[in-house]
Amino acid sequence: MLPLYLIITFLYKLNITIMKIKKINILKTITLSAVLLFASCQKENIDESTNANLPSTTGKTIEKYFQGDLVTVEDIGNGEFLYNSDIILSEKMLSDAPPAPFDPKAAPSAAEADQKLALWGSTNKWPNNTVVYVLGNLNSNLRSNLNEAFRRWTSKTNIKFKERTNESYYVTIYESTNVCSGCGRASFGVQGTRGTVQLGYRASASLIAHELGHTLGFVHEQTRSDRDNYVIIKWDNIQSGMEGNFRKSSSAQLLTRKFDINSIMMYHPYGFSKNGQPTITLLNGQTYNGAQKTISPLDIEGTNKAYPSDNNPNPSDPCAGVLPWSSGQSYTTGDKVTYAGYLYTLQSNNRWLRGGRCSN
């Protein structure tokens, strides 16, 4: 039998070994928890900084003409295509060929008549400045943020929102797993009963206001044709496959007098970054704040041009507040445009009636 002092020594060393093993396991657990927490925070930060959908790996990517520009879109099924990651286009808005020049004084062809004189039916504005909507499944936080987004548009512009009663056209707003938790995507303009605004479960009021801008027919601010006079696109920092989100549109109608870095439709400086470096900077190389925070003064100006009130702000000029005709815009009976210095009104027979001469 071993002496008592040897037994005591053995038990003491065994206890120390067990304590060391427990300490190592505890440290491993703490370290793993810290890594998981950091990774989770990074994921949330990515969602917030890009404010854009995670790229899909299921849809087929193709090239089509949209508003006169050759663009890359993703086929998401049911005759719908994803453009710039959060704009849903219908197949009627796209074409395999560029649009032909249009003369509003000429009689429309049968194809043009079917498309209400806007080739490819690119944008249908909401009648009476009113977005008609149906609410789908939304958590309480999303409902609150949606109401705030509604308020931001209605308190500053001519836009109104109305829950559907018996209207034949509307957009359905619902929580969706098609987008990341803080993201969203929306149909472009009125698309009959198929329009949707799809929101991640923690989409902010600002993000929702941005998506509602797409429903109103507005594209991203950084795609303006004059943007190179104001910002630099850092192509080397953009995620592969997302370059199309930053390409300029040569035919998009400029609703405001200058580029707006603070627009609700402007990307954040780190949007779709692949390396943590900015994808958009000011001309001096600095990043910026304010994008997608709220409806900016220039957003208000542009929205009220696209959706003017019934009151003519300048009675002496019949063209005051009326936008020029655009090949990327779909028109309905009664819509007014300016063309070659004159006011035109679309008649029920899909012909444009020339009115008074513009003062300017």
Q: What is the separation of C-alpha 318 from the centre of its chain, rounded to a whole number of angstroms?
A: 33
Among positive and negative, which fits the CA dihedral 188, 191, 194, 197?
positive
DSSP label at 126?
P
CB contact at 8 A, 306 and 129: no
Helix (H, G, I), strand (E, B) or coil at 132: strand
Structure tokens at 293: 């925070």
Pairing of strands 195-199, 184-187: antiparallel
Give phi and psi for 174, each to the nearest 5.
-155, 160
Q: Which residue has the tokens 């043009």?
A: 112
Catalytic residue among 74, 80, 175, 211: 211
CB contact at 8 A, 126 and 163: no
DSSP 18-80: HHHHHHHHHHHHHHHHHHHHHHHHHHHHHHHHH-SPPPPSSSEEEEEEETTEEEEEEEEETTE
Structure tokens at 175: 């929580």
Is 163 an annotated catalytic residue?
no
Separation of alpha carbons 236 and 220, rounded Å: 20
User: 70, 69, 68, 72: which is closest to 87 by C-alpha?
Assistant: 72
Pairing of strands 352-357, 342-346: antiparallel
Instruction: Kindly list the catalytic residues.
Output: 211
